[in-house]
Structure 1
Amino acid sequence: MNKLLLRALTMATFLLHVASFAGAEYKIVTASERGTYIKIGQDLAQFVAPSADLKFEVLPSAGSAANVRRLRYDAGVKLALVQSDVYQAFLDIAAGGNVEAKDMIRPLRVIMPLYNEEIYFIVRADSELNYIHEIKNAKIGAGESGSGTALTSATLYRLMFGEPMPPSNTTYLSNEDALIKLVTDKSMDVVAVVAGQPAKLLVDMKPESRKLIKLLKFDPNHATSASVLKTYFAADVLSKNYPNLLASDIPGLAVKAFLVTYDFQFKDTETHLRNMTRSLCQNFSTLQEKGHPKWREVQMALPDLGRGWFYYPPTTREIRSCIAGKTQQALPVKMKPSKNCSQQEQVLGLCTPV
């Protein structure tokens, strides 16, 4: 009798669980497990998805460039966090005739801009380098291949110096592995990191880190800065966010983060994403209060996007309604070897040099 009762209770609990969730389960691709994107994804899963009758599986990734590819081709991936310069790079390369880039970026849509992500260039504490514009010909840890960090490194270098990073001086490793090499075998001079402050990677550093590393400053008055500021934004790196690393605030650079989806036409998917956006509006104050500090920089707004960028209409209608106060898989194309691969195309995985 006891066994029968236990089985009945177990089955009843299971059926109750199934009945209590009749929504959809979606995947959202973010970035490194020690970065900001993954925390933003987790905040959406915790504070936004439940009210929309959704469950989000928050997935780490190599970064923004990989996220574009996964959003386009991976089953179940409905949302991605993407850096503005990565999105723009795909658009520029597509406009230049790259068929794969055009196929990947054409059906992607922006839900809303989020916040600025700070760009850090880290060197050894005893390095003669003090400013970002001094990294020319340095041995650079540019970030993992396929990551937004790698694309940002390549783009910034090209904007500052009018040429790609020298392949012989450029290494594509994770932030952690690159930093180890920076301070141990000294096979690198600079490590690039892109993460919204406070970035866990830097927050977790011990007070002794000041004896090992330092951050390079951005000089807005340098000759190279005008071209950089056409794509990126000036932003201070705050000492209060990194007390073990900084004695005072330093001038730096940032790139915009976007919440991106696909141009889904299925009615159910449209409805779920509309509901998610409505929940985002309704729970926005909770995100700003209990979520990552970067949420405090986010605005419920739909600013004009660059040429070739488009908002997703179903979620746009919800955001406009929120602003107005009315509401509180296809297979990827195979890469073809080419003798004319640009550094950006290689970083984005759009081209393989022969």
Structure 2
Amino acid sequence: MLAAAVWLLGFAATGPGASAQQFEKNILTGGPSGTYIQIGRDLASVANACGLEYTIRESAGSLENFLGVRKLPHTQFGIVQSDVLEYLKTFSSEDPDIARAILGVRIALPLYNEEVHILARRDITSLSDLNGRRVAVGVEDSGTFLTASLVLDLAGVQPAARVTINPTASLERLLANEIDAFFYVAGAPTKLFQSAEIDSTKFHLLPIDDPTLTSVYIPTSIPAGTYPFQAEETPVVAVKAVLMTYEYTPKKNAYHRDSCKAVSDLSKLILTNFRQLQEVGHPKWREVNLEDVPPGWEVGSCSSAGLEQDYELQCGALPVQSALPESLESKANAAYRAKICADIGC
């Protein structure tokens, strides 16, 4: 477990810092066919239109992205599931390196909700039925893996085997009767479950309505007909994806200064092009609520700087529309919300 954590934490003991190579701006996303990489490409496209270059990098998913932003040079952004913090605190609470890694992470912007899919055999009707079964939980260090690990532990479920394979391989093994169920955390609808090979008489989406899980995650449902095999609405839980960054200190060195500017620039670009992203970008952009900062996350100061009305970017800025009243939340998050409302309305 935490294979990426061990490697990445050893890669750069001093955290994000200066490098001899030419300065780059990178965004860690996910696999080649997933939603993360499509969202990343949308961001790169908006930046390119403004004459700025952000490189989109594939990855294994949330945990690798989290640690990559925290430790790899020239890696200012990563798209992660918001429960990555809870995962690291739960499974690595006694690891001082992990504890230090958590301290510097920040949110640049909240994104969309990702539904927790569990495709199972028809004779499995509840989470408790996964006890003693063969369950695929995603590739180690992926977002699916960390959420599946938390869900099973929070629900007190003990599978006979937790199989660490990717979603495509999981579906193949389920159809071949080599596993009994598998997790896949992705924004619905996801292409994987459009397969005509999924026989509705043999397989179904497992309902997730455990009170503990609905208190930790976002209760939601996948509407009937979302997938060809799914005739009824299915209650599930969801986890929010976020664009994660690091709390760079511009006065520390040139690398921190340039990285902070990269974060500020992209934050401004997203804000000023938000309507365009919703209209022509990935459909999940239509579900993004820029005010919805998930619990446990703090908005980065570099991101907040990019949202200031007078922040200079060659693409310009939208006119001020309104302001959000003060709240009891942290000053950083309250200021962030006010800036969002001032530019796109609330």
Q: TM-score range by the shorter chain?
A: 0.7 to 0.9
Q: Which runs of 5+ in 1 are unaligned?
A: 1-22, 329-354
Answering whether residue 228 of structure 2 is matched by residue 231 of structure 1, we say: no
State the partner residue of 1:155: 150
- The 3 A distance-change label for structure 1 pair 248 and 291 is farther
Q: Report the Cα offset of residue 252 of structure 1.
A: 1.4
CA distance in 2, matches of 1:132, 1:322: 42
RMSD value over aligned CA atoms? 2.5
Question: Over alpha carbons, which structure has the higher Rg?
Answer: 1
Q: What residue identity is the alignment partner of 2:196? A: K
CA distance in 1, matches of 2:274, 2:80: 20
State the partner residue of 1:170: 162
Answering whether residue 205 of structure 2 is matched by residue 210 of structure 1, we say: no
Q: What residue identity is the alignment partner of 2:37? A: I
Q: What residue identity is the alignment partner of 2:340? A: I
- The 3 A distance-change label for structure 1 pair 228 and 302 is closer
- The 3 A distance-change label for structure 1 pair 56 and 198 is farther
State the partner residue of 1:350: none
State the partner residue of 1:313: 301
Q: Report the Cα offset of residue 183 of structure 1.
A: 1.0
Match of 2:173 among 181, 186, 189: 181
Q: Report the Cα offset of residue 35 of structure 1.
A: 2.1
TM-score where L is the length of structure 1: 0.74
- List, as ranges, runs of 4+ consecutive aligned residues in structure 1 with deviation greater than 6 Å: none
Q: Report the Cα offset of residue 31 of structure 1.
A: 1.8
CA distance in 2, matches of 1:44, 1:255: 21
Partner SS state of residue 39, structure 1: helix
Instruction: Give the conservation status (yes or no) of the 8 Å contact 1:68–1:105.
Output: no
CA distance in 1, matches of 2:98, 2:62: 14
Identical residues among aligned pairs (%): 28
Instruction: Give the conservation status (yes or no) of the 8 Å contact 1:281–1:322.
Output: no
Q: Report the Cα offset of residue 327 of structure 1.
A: 8.4
TM-score where L is the length of structure 2: 0.76
CA distance in 2, matches of 1:110, 1:255: 15
* Deviation by residue 1:68-95 (Cα, 9 ceiling, x = unmatched): 122223332211011111122224456x
Answering whether residue 236 of structure 2 is matched by residue 252 of structure 1, we say: yes
Q: What residue identity is the alignment partner of 2:173? A: K
State the partner residue of 2:16: none
Q: Which runs of 5+ in 2 are unaligned?
A: 1-21, 250-255, 308-335
State the partner residue of 2:247: 263
Q: Report the Cα offset of residue 52 of structure 1.
A: 4.8
> How many pairs does the alignment contain?
289
Answering whether residue 190 of structure 2 is matched by residue 199 of structure 1, we say: yes
Partner SS state of residue 286, structure 2: helix
Instruction: Give the conservation status (yes or no) of the 8 Å contact 1:123–1:213.
Output: yes
Partner SS state of residue 258, structure 1: strand
Instruction: Give the conservation status (yes or no) of the 8 Å contact 1:35–1:201.
Output: no
